[in-house]
């Protein structure tokens, strides 16, 4: 035990004396969260739109009013002919045109159905997508109000994903993803680098020719990073609560436990990487290529998994981050308990045990 | 300028902040001479050499290398010198021929000249069989000999060797020195920095640097007599212990 | 209870690093493994320190088999690998106490053993190891290798890249350690260090050329060596190599070491020959062989 404590003490010396990695460790989560929160955002403000209203009745007026009074849109133009749609887009004056069909109110009451066409300028697909989401949200809200007044329900509107983020704040969607990336990076990359550094320096040779057991070396290497990763996770959650006023719905305790599970799986991956790389540089490259890219691209953090081609959807299943994102989104945004996410948790646990066993097995007691 | 002196150094000094790395050193090196520039790690050898090859600016003093002033004509110096170090020599992932072609190219040799040179060089070193093999696969001794030949490709007036023969086997090492003697015989000046004192025995004249100053400068024979020592190693021990 | 090595061979891919190596190191002996880079010294050290497994042959260290009893060996040997392998970002004292802890001991417990060496670096005990000079680093590394009072000490090229003063001090330290009943196996590419060992093995291309005391090895040199010098070194070497009776011609500092094919030679013949080749100030004198001469003769 004394050997083990001595080892951990040494690891902390390394970490606290290396200013650069300390900066990465604590500066990065803060920078990333702030970046995603403020700069890289899907939110829109005061987007110019044009209205083409073929009915000009009470309902359409009310809808137009609702849209125009939201801070997201400003009605720049009222156009009267279908032919004008193309020209306003070409002039680049508006990003979207709302086209109300003829006899809108009448259709709504008679047939329980009326149509608005939302035409967006898809040269910027992200914005286009967001605009149509926002318009939809406003429409749904209006429908709800409409249905409240009238006891008979005219329309059954399927709930879309925006219900869990009613204010449409993109930062809420990013927090789970950023947290996943940071925990992965800190845990996997830092451990793999710190183990390969010993190989590069030649100190690994001395550690091997000592009575320390492989498992002691592994746990000694991993322990400080579990500790630091937990602090990091806490910083991220606090930032999102206090700076972005994100309401964390679920149990913080459960969130903590799930995070620790994910951290351990990432650490195991880090050890695995260190067993196959001889230098810090390779360890870093492998961590970035084999871990970071899949986490960013295939975990559902940025691109929804459901819209990926089938092979990628299958591959995404073997990425621990995918399951972790589902879990923490559930806890943070939906207030779900373990009864709803036990399956994902079990998968993550299985992966962790698998990686851990593999890395302890692969950890060499000799040099080759 | 005396044509016979290819390196002239007078009061050359380099300061890093308060620290005097090279403290007013003065010496000359003659054409075709093998000059040993010795000193312990941190004595200032490397700093002094960097000034001479034009990649570091002196704080004060004067120095001319191959007839050019180190302050004003550093670029001309670089064209007239060769450099070889044990740490960096050749690209391991290029073949012998590719390395020769590459280094010939940097020194502006014509394609025809490179071809001639590389044929002669490969034949002289007996590398015909491995000419198209990666340099990384060659034994250390071969690499060093090849690297030395490459540093002579552009017929420099002076060649600077930074700890050239550490760790090679004794026979290869002698072959290496034979190459140095040959280069010197053909008029190339050889400037060797090293902290291996037995390498010093091979030089025509040696200077020994201690704490930024040149504390001794003469032929190995005279230095051994002066310090009443059997080897250059012992000369150094006596000097370093004051 | 020292080291026994029998018929060890080791290959990497297509390189034969060690070929059928056998020798013993007696308890308390200071044994030198002398050879250039790439001779196989480090591979042999790693096999003996249980870091590598040989393809063939067996070896024991303090009576334990290097494969089967590797854990026991790891408890009882000290190892200083070729490159400086301490934590650069830890201070002198932190490094030492770290290695003490992982070997389950403390600095105080074995202070006697390292005292001589440690006092020299103690004034810098709060300095980071990366900021030490070459000689100091090497002393610290030795202290770290000694801190658990090993029975056998493996030192892989401890003096490479270290200045002559530190080298001398280092060998003095080894001599003192030997008196404390520690068996020492040390490797070096410097032939001049061979004379400081009790016995040496000359090694090249993974084969042992000879094993004996340094004195005996030099004595076995088969020929009379002549120191030859003249006004032009390059011409001298070329001329000697063309001389019909030459056996070996090696530059050796300010001289050329020359041996002849004939049993008995008249130096004046050689002087006349060299002068006919336009050499001036020719001098010839008998000299005694060194380890390096022997090495070259055996490796020829």
Identify the three-state secondary structure at position C90. Answer: coil
Shortest CA distance to A196 belongs to which of A19, A363, A17?
A: A363
Q: How many CA atoms lie within 13 A of B189 on its CB side?
A: 22
Cα distance from C31 to chain B (closest Cα, Å)? Answer: 19
CB pairs under 8 A between A and C: 81
Cα→Cα distances C229→C181, C221, C280, Å = 46, 22, 9
Instruction: Judge: C103–A210 Cβ closer than 8 Å, yes or no.
Output: yes
* In contact, A232 and A183? CB cutoff 8 Å: yes
pLDDT at A164: 41
What pLDDT score does C224 carry?
Answer: 94
* Domains in chain C: boundaries: 3-219, 225-299
Q: Give average pLDDT by consecutive 10-residue segment, chain A, 368 residues.
A: 87 88 82 74 73 84 83 82 81 81 81 79 72 80 72 41 44 78 86 90 88 85 90 87 79 91 92 90 89 83 79 88 89 82 92 90 79
Q: Please choose, from the candidates A347, A283, A357, the residue with its C-alpha nearest in 3D space to the C-alpha of residue A321.
A: A347
Nearest CA in chain B to C14: B137
The helix (run of H) or strand (run of E) holding residue C49 is: none
Tokens of C208: 């042992």
Subunits next to A (3 or more Cβ pairs <8 Å) are: C
The per-residue pLDDT for B88 is 60
Q: What is the pLDDT of residue A62?
A: 84
Q: Does any CB of chain C come closer than 8 Å to the CB of residue B139?
A: yes
Q: Which of A248-262, A327-341, C194-208, C246-260 has the lowest mean pLDDT?
A: A327-341
State the DSSP H helix or E strand holding residue C72, giving kind and residue range, or none if neither: helix C70-76
Prediction pTM value: 0.82
Residues of C in contact with A279 (CB under 8 A): none
**Structure confidence at residue A125 (pLDDT):** 65
Give domain status of residue B8, yes or no.
no
Cβ partners under 8 Å of residue C212, min gap 6 = C199, C200, C220
Interface contact C85-A206, CB threshold 8 A: yes
Quote the minimal CA–CA distance from A4 to chain C in Å.
8
Task: Choose among C87, C89, C104: nearest Cβ to A3.
Answer: C104
CATH no. for residue B120? Answer: 3.40.50.300
Using the predicted structure, report yes or no on whether residue C263 has a pLDDT greater than 90.
no
| Contact of B134 with B143, CB cutoff 8 Å | no
pLDDT on residue C31: 97
Beta bridge partners of B205: B35
Measured from the Cβ of residue B1, the count of other Cβ atoms closer than 10 Å reads 8
What backbone torsions phi and psi does residue C190 show, to the nearest 5 degrees? Answer: -90, 115
At residue A150, the pLDDT reads 54
C110/A217 Cα distance (integer angstroms) = 24
Q: What is the mean pLDDT of residues B8-31?
A: 94
Q: Please, do chains C and A touch (3+ CB pairs < 8 Å)?
A: yes
What is the per-residue pLDDT for B118? Answer: 92
The mean of the pLDDT values for chain C is 92
Query: Residue C68 — φ and ψ, nearest 5°?
Result: -70, -40
Distinct helix (H) and strand (E) counts, chain A: 16, 4
In angstroms, what CA-CA distances link A194 with A12, A190, A224, A291?
Answer: 11, 6, 11, 17
Torsion sign, CA atoms A192, A193, A196, A197: negative
Which residues on chain B are in Cβ contact (under 8 Å) with C162?
A: 41
CA atoms of B15 and B50, how far apart (whole Å): 13
What percent of chain C shows pLDDT beyond 70? 100
State the nearest Cα–Cα gap between A217 and chain C, in angstroms.
10
- Percentage of residues of chain C with pLDDT beyond 90: 80
The class (CATH top level) of C225-299 is: alpha beta
Phi/psi zone of residue A116: left (φ > 0), alpha (ψ -120 to 50 degrees), beta? beta
Question: Are the beta carbons of B170 and C292 separated by less than 8 Å?
Answer: yes
| C3-219 against C225-299: fold identical | no
Note the pLDDT of residue A171: 62
Contact B174 C168 (CB under 8 A): no
Strands in C152-156's sheet, in edge-to-edge order, are: C77-80, C152-156, C183-188, C30-34, C199-204, C207-212
- Split at pLDDT 50, 70, 90, the class of B1 is very low
Q: What is the dihedral of CA C4, C9, C10, C13, to 10 degrees?
A: 180
What whole-number distance in Å separates Cα of residue B100 and Cα of residue C90?
Answer: 44
Q: Give the count of beta carbons closer than 10 Å to the beta carbon of residue A92.
A: 10
Q: What is the pLDDT of residues C147-178, one digit of tens each?
A: 999 999 999 999 887 888 888 889 999 999 99
CATH 3.40.1710.10 fits A47-164, yes or no: yes
**B137 domain residue, yes or no:** yes
pLDDT of res. B3:
62
For the residues C270-295, what does the mean pLDDT come to? 94
Q: Average pLDDT, whole number, for chain B? A: 90
> Each residue of C96-148: pLDDT tens digit?
999 999 998 999 999 989 998 999 899 999 999 999 888 889 999 999 999 99
Q: How confident is the model at residue B189 (pLDDT cuts 50, 70, 90)?
A: very high
Residue spans of the domains in chain A: they are 2-40+169-362, 47-164
CB A204 within 8 A of CB A198: yes
The kind and range of the H/E element at B203 are: none
ipTM of model = 0.86
Q: Domain containing B222: what range?
A: 30-45+80-240
Are A7 and C102 spatial neighbours (Cβ–Cβ below 8 Å)?
yes
Among partner residues A7, A17, A205, which is closest to C102 by beta-carbon distance? Answer: A7
Selection from A212, A236, A189, A232 nearest residue A34 by Cα: A236
User: Topology of C3-219 in CATH?
Assistant: Rossmann fold (3.40.50)
User: Using beta carbons and an 8 Å cutoff, which residues of C are at the interface with B?
Assistant: 35-39, 133-134, 160-165, 168, 189-192, 204, 232-235, 237, 250-254, 292, 295-296, 299-300
CB C191 within 8 A of CB B170: yes
Which residues from chain A sit within 8 angstroms of residue C51, using beta carbons?
205, 208-209, 366-367
d(CA A345, CA A326): 10
Contact B139 C253 (CB under 8 A): no
Instruction: Name the strand (E) or helix (H) holding A203.
Output: helix A203-208
Name the domain count of chain B.
1
What's the pLDDT score for residue B136?
Answer: 87
């Amino acid at each position: 035990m004394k050997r083990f404590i001595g080892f951990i003490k040494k690891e902390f010396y390394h970490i606290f004396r290396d200013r650069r990695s300390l900066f990465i460790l604590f500066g990065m989560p803060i920078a990333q969260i702030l970046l995603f929160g403020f700069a890289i955002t899907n939110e829109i403000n005061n987007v110019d739109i044009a209205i083409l209203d073929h009915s000009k009745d009470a309902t359409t007026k009310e809808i137009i009013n609702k849209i125009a009074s939201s801070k997201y849109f400003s009605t720049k133009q009222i156009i009267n002919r279908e032919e004008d749609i193309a020209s306003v887009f070409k002039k680049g004056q508006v990003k979207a045109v709302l086209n109300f069909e003829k006899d809108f109110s009448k259709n709504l009451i008679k047939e329980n159905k009326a149509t608005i066409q939302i035409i967006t300028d898809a040269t910027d697909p992200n914005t286009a997508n967001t605009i149509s989401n926002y318009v939809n949200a406003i429409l749904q809200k209006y429908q709800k109000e409409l249905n409240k007044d009238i006891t008979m329900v005219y329309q059954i509107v399927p709930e879309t994903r925006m219900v869990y983020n009613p204010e449409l704040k993109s930062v809420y969607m990013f927090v789970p993803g950023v947290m996943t990336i940071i925990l992965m990076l800190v845990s996997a990359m830092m451990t793999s680098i710190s183990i390969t550094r010993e190989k590069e320096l030649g100190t690994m040779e001395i550690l091997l020719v000592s009575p320390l057991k492989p498992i002691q070396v592994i746990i000694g290497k991993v322990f400080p990073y579990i500790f630091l990763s937990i602090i990091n996770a806490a910083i991220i959650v606090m930032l999102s609560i206090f700076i972005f006023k994100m309401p964390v719905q679920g149990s913080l305790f459960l969130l903590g436990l799930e995070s620790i599970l994910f951290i351990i799986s990432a650490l195991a991956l880090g050890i695995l990487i260190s067993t196959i790389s001889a230098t810090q540089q390779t360890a870093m490259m492998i961590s970035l290529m084999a871990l970071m890219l899949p986490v960013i691209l295939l975990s559902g953090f940025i691109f929804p998994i459901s819209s990926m081609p089938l092979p990628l959807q299958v591959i995404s299943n073997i990425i621990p981050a995918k399951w972790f994102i589902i879990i923490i989104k559930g806890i943070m945004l939906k207030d779900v308990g373990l009864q709803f996410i036990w399956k994902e948790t079990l998968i993550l646990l299985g992966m962790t045990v698998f990686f851990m066993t593999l890395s302890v097995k692969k950890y060499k007691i000799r040099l080759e | 300028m005396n044509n016979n002196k290819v390196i002239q150094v007078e009061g050359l000094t380099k300061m890093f902040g308060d620290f005097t790395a090279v403290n007013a050193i003065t010496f000359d090196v003659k054409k075709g001479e093998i000059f040993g520039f010795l000193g312990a790690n941190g004595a200032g050898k490397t700093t002094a050499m960097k000034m001479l090859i034009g990649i570091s600016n002196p704080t004060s003093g004067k120095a001319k290398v191959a007839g050019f002033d180190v302050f004003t004509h550093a670029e001309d110096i670089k064209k007239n010198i060769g450099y070889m170090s044990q740490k960096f020599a050749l690209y391991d992932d290029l073949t012998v021929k590719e390395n020769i072609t590459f280094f010939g190219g940097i020194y502006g040799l014509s394609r025809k000249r490179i071809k001639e040179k590389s044929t002669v060089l490969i034949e002289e070193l007996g590398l015909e069989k491995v000419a198209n093999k990666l340099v990384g696969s060659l034994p250390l001794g071969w690499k060093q000999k090849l690297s030395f030949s490459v540093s002579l490709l552009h017929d420099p007036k002076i060649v600077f060797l930074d700890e050239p023969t550490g760790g090679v086997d004794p026979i290869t090492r002698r072959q290496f020195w034979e190459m140095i003697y040959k280069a010197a015989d053909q008029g190339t000046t050889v400037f060797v920095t090293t902290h291996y004192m037995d390498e010093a025995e091979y030089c025509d004249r040696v200077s020994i640097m201690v704490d930024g100053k040149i504390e001794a400068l003469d032929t190995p024979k005279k230095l051994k007599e002066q310090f009443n020592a059997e080897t250059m190693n012992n000369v150094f021990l006596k000097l370093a212990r004051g | 209870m020292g080291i026994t090595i029998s018929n060890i061979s080791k290959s990497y891919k297509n390189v034969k690093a060690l070929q059928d190596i056998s020798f013993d190191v007696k308890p308390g002996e200071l044994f030198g493994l002398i050879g250039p880079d790439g001779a196989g010294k480090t591979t042999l050290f790693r096999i003996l320190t249980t870091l590598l497994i040989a393809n063939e042959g067996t070896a024991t260290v303090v009576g334990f088999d290097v494969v089967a009893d590797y854990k026991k060996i790891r408890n009882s040997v000290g190892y200083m690998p070729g490159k400086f392998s301490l934590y650069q970002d830890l201070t002198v004292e932190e490094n030492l106490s770290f290695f003490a802890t992982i070997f389950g001991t403390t600095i105080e417990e074995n202070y006697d053993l390292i005292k001589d060496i440690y006092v020299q670096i103690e004034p810098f005990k709060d300095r980071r190891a990366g900021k030490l000079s070459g000689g100091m680093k090497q002393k610290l590394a030795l202290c770290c290798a000694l801190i658990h009072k090993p029975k056998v000490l493996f030192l892989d090229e401890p003096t490479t890249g270290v200045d002559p003063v530190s080298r001398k001090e280092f060998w003095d330290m080894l001599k003192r350690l030997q008196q404390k009943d520690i068996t020492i196996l040390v490797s070096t590419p410097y032939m001049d260090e061979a004379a400081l060992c009790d016995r040496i093995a000359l090694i090249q291309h993974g084969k042992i050329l000879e094993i004996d005391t340094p004195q005996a090895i030099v004595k076995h040199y088969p020929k009379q060596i002549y120191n030859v010098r003249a006004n032009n070194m390059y011409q001298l070497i070329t001329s000697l190599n063309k001389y019909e009776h030459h056996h070996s011609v090696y530059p050796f500092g300010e001289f050329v070491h020359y041996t002849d094919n004939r049993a008995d030679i008249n130096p004046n013949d050689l002087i006349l020959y060299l002068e006919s080749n336009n050499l001036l100030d020719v001098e010839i004198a008998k000299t005694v062989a060194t380890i390096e001469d022997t090495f070259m003769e055996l490796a020829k």
